[in-house]
Amino acid sequence: MHNTTEVQQRLEQAAAEIAKVFIGDSRPVQLLLAGLISGLAVLIEDIPGVGKTSLARALAAACGLDFGRIQFTPDLLPGDIVGMTIWSQEARQFVYRPGAIMRQFILADEINRASARTQSALLEAMQENSVSVDGTTHPLPKPFFLIATQNPSTHAGTFLLPEAQLDRFGLGFSIGYPNPEHELRIGELVHQADPFEAIRRVLSASDIETLRDRVRAITVDPKVRTYVVQLTGATRHCDAFRAGVSPRAGQHLLRAGQAMACLRGRDYVMPEDIRDLCGPVFSHRLQASPEARLQGKSVAGQLSSLLSQIRLPSGL
């Protein structure tokens, strides 16, 4: 992949392969690809049965990474995820037995069905790309990518994700119900033996490492950085939110903007990239204040209002 045009074509090929299994709006696919090439963890929240797991599996098949699925349940333990040290009779010493997270591509399915203690086992992996067991740090495979799905908090058997965990997810979104046309096409997949077998691998681990290096090298004008700071600051002075977003959220917004520029065939970030990604990057981090809830104000609505009040940088 030597230029932006070739990069865009390869990513469009990946999106086309995903579309063989995931029938619906292209926006979730674009956000998921942005997470993949930027290295940002992705959180998908929606009701069961709308294609969250299928979307993640399709991307894993198209990018050729070592895939692992962790089904989160109330009885899942941290050691099941990060691994543990056990006594080896042959070596006559304690050795590390890797946990389920030691894969390049992890799907943490229904993450909020496990307790906060188990959820916290992902914190180091999401931030440091490593896990620590009994005082020893073990690096995760490269490239590492995490997608988590969660059911709505109103559903039975769910636990709230702590703020520290939510802040480590770079992108968050919902899929929603399909329109009638898409739902008819989804019904046609039932007649296929295994629709995932039709997905071709169009990317490799080395391709993804190259893409991530390219994303980090994409130009960000100082005016765009200032725009991001204005957005993060606006959330901190808005009474409709319990608290504003962290500096990490601003960093994630910039990195996601670089990824979106790459997906759109550019080697520089435009203010429109940032504006389009503000919702997916900020929404899962924000909670409406009690007063806003009483007035029927939503997080999405307030974010949209803030975006309309802050002028896009010009002259870029």
Residues 212 and 259 in one domain: no
Mean local confidence (pLDDT), 68-72: 91
- Does residue 72 share a domain with residue 117? yes
In terms of domains, do 1 and 69 share one?
Answer: yes
Taking the C-alpha atoms of residue 10 and residue 22, their distance in angstroms, rounded to an integer, is: 18
Same domain, 26 and 70: yes
Give the residue from 193, 217, 241 where a domain finishes.
Answer: 217
pLDDT, position 1: 60
How large is the average pLDDT for residues 22-26? 84
Final residue belonging to a domain, choices 217, 252, 285: 217
Neighbours of 32 (CB within 10 A): 23
| pLDDT at position 265 over 80 | yes
Residue where a domain terminates, one of 191, 217, 243: 217
| Tally of domains within the chain | 2
Residues 188 and 242 in one domain: no
Any residues with CB less than 8 A from the CB of 309 and at least 6 apart, and which? 234
Q: Look up residue 41 and give its two tokens.
A: 């963890």
pTM value?
0.91
pLDDT at residue 223, rounded to an integer: 95
pLDDT digit string, tens, across residues 33-53:
999 999 999 999 888 878 888
What is the span of the domain harbouring residue 250? 218-316
32 and 102 in a single domain? The answer is: yes
Among 64, 59, 54, 32, smallest CA distance to 194 is for 54
Strands of the 105-109 sheet, one edge to the other: 67-71, 105-109, 145-150, 41-45, 169-173
- Same domain for 195 and 256, yes or no, is no
The Cβ-side half-sphere exposure at 291, using a 13 Å CA radius, reads 6
Rg of the chain, C-alpha, whole Å: 20
How confident is the prediction for the chain on average, in pLDDT? Answer: 88
- What is the CATH classification number for the domain harbouring 161? 3.40.50.300
Q: Are residues 144 and 274 in the same domain?
A: no
pLDDT level of residue 24 (50, 70, 90 thresholds): confident
88: enclosing H helix or E strand? strand 83-88
Q: Looking at the structure, tell me whether residues 170 and 223 fall in a common domain.
A: no
Q: Say if residue 156 is in the same domain as residue 27.
A: yes
pLDDT surpassing 80 at residue 296 = no
Q: Which amino acid is at 147?
A: I
The CATH number covering residue 281 comes to: 1.10.8.80
Closest CA to 282 of 249, 254, 308: 249
Pairing of strands 93-98, 83-88: antiparallel
Residues 6+ apart with CB under 8 A from 37: 11, 208, 211, 212, 214, 215, 259, 262, 263
Q: β-strand 130-133 against 136-139: which pairing, if any? A: antiparallel
Looking at the structure, tell me whether residues 45 and 168 fall in a common domain. yes
Q: Give the residue among 37, 22, 68, 26 at the shortest CA–CA distance from 205.
A: 37
Is residue 240 domain-shared with residue 178, that is, in the same domain? Answer: no
